[in-house]
A and B are shown apart, each in its own frame.
Chain A
Amino acid sequence: MNQDERTDVDAPDTKRTDREGLPPQVVLVADRDPTVTDELAEVLREAFIVRSAYDSADALASLDSEVSVALLDPTIPGLSARRVVERVRTDGADCQVAALTDGPLDVEATAFDDYLVKPVAHDSLTETVERLGRRAAYRTTLEAYYLVAHERATADGAERERLDRRLAELDDRLDDVFGSLEGSEAYDAALRELDADS
């Protein structure tokens, strides 16, 4: 397998702003079957930075703010969606999480954003991760946009001008990502509270 330069997950944070609104797409894959984990990771490495995890401790440890999409098997002991969400929805970090399942899942009743039924077709795997990556980018950028708007409300002079420029950058980035989202999906990506009990 080609380990190209994009697999360098320790790249400096500046990459985040150099990609015209598209943060580096770091994807975490963790299935209870290591063979499945490796297979999915190999497919995804063609387009994304990929981390593999083989147990819940590994998976939770890998879920830092760099990860924008996680594909997780909820049957891995200790890896409930709730634990994952508690992990990814803190300190402003955000991550879209899809379940790797053996059958259909009622996503609305869970904390997952989406699911993939195994065995996963390679094209739908890539498509799903790209879509979840756009949702993550939209959600993260929108949060930043709100925080800057809030800060700007009490700023004046040069500080306000600086924040205005920052808002304009974030607005451009939001427009870019919004262009690839359906309206109803944009609302969901922007606002869905992942606080389900499962």
Chain B
Amino acid sequence: MSTKPGDSGSTETPMNVLLLAPSVGGHEEEVCQELLHGPGEREHALLVTCMESPADRLSAWTDHDHEHGRPENATIIDVEAAARSTAATAAGTDGAPNAVVESVGEETDLVGLGDVIDRHLTALASEGEPSVCVHSVSDLLQRAEENAVFKFLEVLTSTVERAGAVAHYHMNPDVHDAETVRTFEVLFDSVVDLRTAHVADE
């Protein structure tokens, strides 16, 4: 499968990857896992989730155990906890003793979310090279204006680069017009488009 950025011939691992995953098909979870674990077998994961529960994001990650081994720890930042039942949130921690879930309040804006991400990213970076999954750009665009989400992601990609982390950002191209997707493309080192499994390095 030629969906890993490393397959494009570039020797340098892209630090920030936009993962364009359509609503149906495209092996989104498999590619997510490969990007998270990366060639360096990164052991610290920072998962940012909006609409999906922390349990779902975590299982997507740990389902891959047999092939990649378990990460030492995972930190999950739960952006839309208030939109789901608290039972679902609690379940996220039950089966995963080495997972930390931080729920971000409903009233938290992108500045506040950035602060929380920055705090965890800095902490994880002090222990190793973290791997970040943002799920998703599409959900963030439900929360805030395009202009604000764009700026938020520019800051986030810069902090990821500075922390020596790698990150990928899910975006569903089916729910945005092509112009929005092309506007956001410029923020990333690489774009993995699962509609075509085509890899384009910026």
- A contact residues vs B (CB 8 Å cutoff): 142-143, 145-146, 149-150, 152-154, 167, 174-175, 178, 183-184, 186-188, 190-193
Contacts and interface: CB of A to CB of B under 8 A. Distances in A.
B118 A184 contact: yes
A183 B186 contact: no
B153 to A, nearest CB: 10
A190 B183 contact: no
A187 B147 contact: no
Interface string B138-160: 00000000011011101100110
Given A175-B158, A184-B118, A191-B110, A146 B152 contact: no
State the majority secondary structure of interface residues on B: helix
A146 B146 CA distance: 9
Nearest to B179: A153
B115 A184 contact: yes
Question: Which of B114, B154, B162, B187 gathers the greatest number of chain A CB atoms within 10 Å?
Answer: B154
B111 A192 contact: yes
B56 interface: no
A66 B5 CA distance: 43
B8 interface: no
Given A146-B147, A146-B150, A192-B111, A187 B155 contact: yes
A184 B154 contact: no
B121 interface: yes
B93 interface: no
Contacts of B187: 149
Given A184-B118, A187-B115, A152 B154 contact: no
Interface of B: 109-111, 114-115, 118-119, 121-122, 147-148, 150-152, 154-155, 158-159, 162, 178-180, 182-184, 186-187
Contact of A149 (B115, B119, B150, B162): B150
Nearest to B160: A183
A187 B144 CA distance: 14
B179 A190 contact: no
Contact of B180 (A142, A145, A153, A183): A153
A112 to B, nearest CB: 15
Contacts of B110: 187, 191
B109 A191 contact: yes
